[in-house]
């Protein structure tokens, strides 16, 4: 019978950890489990195991982290729990394996968590950079205000117009002057008139010649109204075919209403004979 | 392209293109063309197809800047409105002039003249004519690079004034 008894590995000394790690526990455990059918032999085996254990250089407990054993951080006064020495050698083997693998597993998890933290930090940094860049682009274009995000079809023009005050000379990379306060004020009054009449421009831009330009466009027909830094305002009517027609705009409420009426008229004029708009 | 002591070349082929970059502030997708607010006068700084590709105009070598998302518009020299004379007023003439810079040899300007006198300020042209001429010039222009259109910068200069395929 002794021939089938497995040689119990020396698992209790710290010096033999490597030996334990090299053991094939499945081969060790199977014959032992077979002893369940033979209680007398099993008892003999267990007794011999205990005898061996008691005579061995004995250092059973593996305490990887004292604070974990204590069950808390920073010296919390959790009752100290002492591991109960199991009688079953297989259970001891299981505990030893668990203890030996717990630390690498923990280390691996900690390392993984550490990498995840770094990855998360990188992602957050990248997103912050994108957000900062977006804000800087928006700031160059217009002040970022609540109105920038919530503006309706008319208010968005107001927000855009206000943004032109942040432009500096050379904003077009050449020599364009920023719109003057006077031009911005006149454009703002014109925008009020547009709003009150229920109209809406197609475009509102700073002009490279210095000023503010409104464009009203319907297909090929367009009216461009420019408030110059010089204090003058002109409107240019184009139809994509004939020569542009320019008229001076009177800068008061009546003048603005007149020019907006002309815009409507221009959009509803029949195309000229030379125009490809004619079917 | 640096000047490198190259000579001024004021010979313009009528089919030669003049290029100008337009900020995305005032011309962005999906608009096919910018409006008159993108056209300056006088002394409009442009590039020229004889010595540069359209995408080169996105570079500002004098200030070491690159506007990679800006659109490029162009006009053939032969289509620049050459002169304009309002009823009872003086005649204004417009002509391209090669003005190479040390770091930007293709740099050219469309200049305005009243008789022999070069008009160097915006105020020197009556505002109605100013806007009308800009409208005329815009009507002759075409979009050569749309805003945000990606285009690698060619390293070799053009071999002629004709636009070369990419």
Arithmetic mean of pLDDT, B85-109: 86
Structure tokens at A165: 């005050």
In angstroms, what separates the C-alpha of B60 from chain A's closest C-alpha?
Answer: 8
A100 contacts A21 by C-beta, under 8 angstroms: yes
A108 vs B108, more confident: B108
* A210/B122 CB distance under 8 A: yes
Nearest-Cα residue of chain A relative to residue B123: A230
Task: Using pLDDT thresholds of 50, 70 and 90, give the confidence band for residue B90.
Answer: confident
Q: Is the pLDDT of residue B75 over 70?
A: yes
In angstroms, what separates the C-alpha of B90 from chain A's closest C-alpha?
Answer: 18
Mutate to test the interface with A, among B131, B142, B147 (most CBs of A within 10 A): B131
Handedness of CA A193, A224, B36, A176 (dihedral sign): negative
In angstroms, what separates the C-alpha of B40 from chain A's closest C-alpha?
Answer: 6
Structure tokens at B86: 């309002």
pLDDT at A70: 45
pLDDT at A1: 40
Structure tokens at B46: 């442009």
| Coil vs helix vs strand at A9 | coil
Q: How far is Cα A223 from Cα A190, in angstroms, rounded to an integer?
A: 14
Chain B residues within 8 Å of chain A (Cβ atoms) = 21-23, 25-26, 31, 35-41, 45, 60, 63, 65, 67, 70, 122-123, 127-128, 130-132, 134-136, 139
In angstroms, what separates the C-alpha of B79 from chain A's closest C-alpha?
Answer: 14
pLDDT at A9: 45
Please check whether residue B1 lies inside any domain of the structure. Answer: no
B71 contacts B27 by C-beta, under 8 angstroms: yes
Please check whether residue B9 lies inside any domain of the structure. Answer: no
Q: How far is Cα B47 from Cα B52, in angstroms, rounded to an integer?
A: 7
B96 contacts B77 by C-beta, under 8 angstroms: yes
Q: Which of A141, A173, A243 sits opposite B21 (nearest CB)?
A: A173
Nearest-Cα residue of chain B relative to residue A226: B37
Phi-psi region of A240 (alpha: psi -120 to 50; beta: other; left: phi over 0): left
Indicate the number of domains in chain B. Answer: 1
* B130/A209 CB distance under 8 A: yes
Q: Which of A141, A213, A240 sits opposite B37 (nearest CB)?
A: A213
* A206/B67 CB distance under 8 A: no
Mutate to test the interface with B, among A183, A205, A239, A274 (most CBs of B within 10 A): A205
ipTM: 0.92
* B35/A208 CB distance under 8 A: no
Q: How far is Cα B128 from Cα A200, in angstroms, rounded to an integer?
A: 25
pLDDT at A278: 33
Please check whether residue B52 lies inside any domain of the structure. Answer: yes
Task: Using pLDDT thresholds of 50, 70 and 90, give the confidence band for residue B42.
Answer: confident
Give strand ranges (E) for A55-172.
Answer: none
| Residues sharing a CB contact under 8 Å with residue A191, sequence separation 6 or more, in sequence order | A154, A157, A158, A161, A204
Per DSSP bridges, beta strands B92-98 and B59-60 are unpaired
Structure tokens at A265: 């008229």
pLDDT at A276: 41
A243 contacts on B by Cβ (under 8 Å): 132, 136
A183 contacts A176 by C-beta, under 8 angstroms: no
Please check whether residue B65 lies inside any domain of the structure. Answer: yes
Return the CA Rg of chain B: 16
* A205/B122 CB distance under 8 A: no
Q: Which of B25, B67, B131 sits opposite A141 (nearest CB)?
A: B25
Q: Digits of tens for pLDDT over chain A (279 positions)? A: 444 444 444 444 444 344 444 444 444 555 556 656 666 766 766 676 666 556 554 444 444 454 444 444 554 455 555 556 667 777 777 777 777 777 677 777 777 777 776 777 777 777 788 877 777 766 665 555 555 555 555 578 888 998 999 999 999 999 899 999 999 999 999 999 998 888 889 999 999 999 999 999 998 899 999 999 999 999 999 998 888 999 999 999 999 999 999 999 999 876 654 444 433
In angstroms, what separates the C-alpha of B159 from chain A's closest C-alpha?
Answer: 27
Please check whether residue B50 lies inside any domain of the structure. Answer: yes
Please check whether residue B54 lies inside any domain of the structure. Answer: yes
What DSSP character marks residue A13?
S
- Summarised one tens digit per residue, pLDDT across range B9-18 is 999 999 999 9
Could you list the residue range(s) of the whole structural domain that residue B135 is in? 17-145
Please check whether residue B5 lies inside any domain of the structure. Answer: no
Return the closest-CA partner of residue A207 out of B126, B40, B74: B40
């Amino acid at each position: 019978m002794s021939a089938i008894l497995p040689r119990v590995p020396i698992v209790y000394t710290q010096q033999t950890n490597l030996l334990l790690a090299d053991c094939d526990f499945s081969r060790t455990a199977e014959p032992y489990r077979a002893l369940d059918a033979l209680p007398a032999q099993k008892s003999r085996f267990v007794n011999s195991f205990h005898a061996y254990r008691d005579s061995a250089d004995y250092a059973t407990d593996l305490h990887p982290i004292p604070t974990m054993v204590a069950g808390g951080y920073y010296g919390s006064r959790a009752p100290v729990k002492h591991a109960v020495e199991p009688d079953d050698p297989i259970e001891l083997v299981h505990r030893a394996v668990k203890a030996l693998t717990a630390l690498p597993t923990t280390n691996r998890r900690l390392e993984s968590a550490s990498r995840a933290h770094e990855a998360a930090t990188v992602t957050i940094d990248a997103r912050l950079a994108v957000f900062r860049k977006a804000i800087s682009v928006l700031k160059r274009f217009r002040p970022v205000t609540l109105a920038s995000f919530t503006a309706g079809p008319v208010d968005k023009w107001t927000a855009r117009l206000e943004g032109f005050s942040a432009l500096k000379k050379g904003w077009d990379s050449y020599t364009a002057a920023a719109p003057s306060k006077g031009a911005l004020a006149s454009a703002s009054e014109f925008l009020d008139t547009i709003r009150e009449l229920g109209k809406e421009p197609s475009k509102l831009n700073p002009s490279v010649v210095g000023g503010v330009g409104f464009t009203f466009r319907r297909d090929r027909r367009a009216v461009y109204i420019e408030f110059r830094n010089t204090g003058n305002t002109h409107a240019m009517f184009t139809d994509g075919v004939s020569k542009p027609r320019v008229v001076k705009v009177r800068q008061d409420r009546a003048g603005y209403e007149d020019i907006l009426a002309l815009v409507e008229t221009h959009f509803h004029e029949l195309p000229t004979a030379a125009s490809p708009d004619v079917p | 392209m640096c000047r490198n002591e190259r000579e001024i070349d004021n010979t313009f082929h009528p089919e030669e293109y003049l290029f100008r970059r337009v900020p995305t502030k005032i011309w962005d997708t999906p608009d096919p063309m910018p409006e008159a607010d993108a056209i300056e006068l006088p002394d409009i700084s442009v590039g020229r197809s004889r010595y540069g590709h359209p995408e080169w105009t996105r570079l500002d070598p004098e200030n070491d800047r690159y506007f990679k998302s800006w659109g490029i518009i162009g006009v053939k020299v032969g289509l620049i409105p050459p002169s304009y004379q309002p009823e009872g007023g003086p005649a204004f003439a417009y002509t391209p002039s090669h003005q190479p810079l040390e770091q930007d040899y293709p740099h050219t300007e469309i200049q305005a003249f009243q008789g022999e006198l070069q008009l160097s300020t915006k105020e020197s042209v009556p505002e109605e004519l100013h806007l009308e001429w800009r409208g005329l010039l815009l009507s002759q222009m075409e979009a050569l690079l749309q805003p945000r259109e990606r285009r690698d910068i060619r390293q070799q200069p053009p071999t002629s004034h004709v636009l070369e395929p990419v």
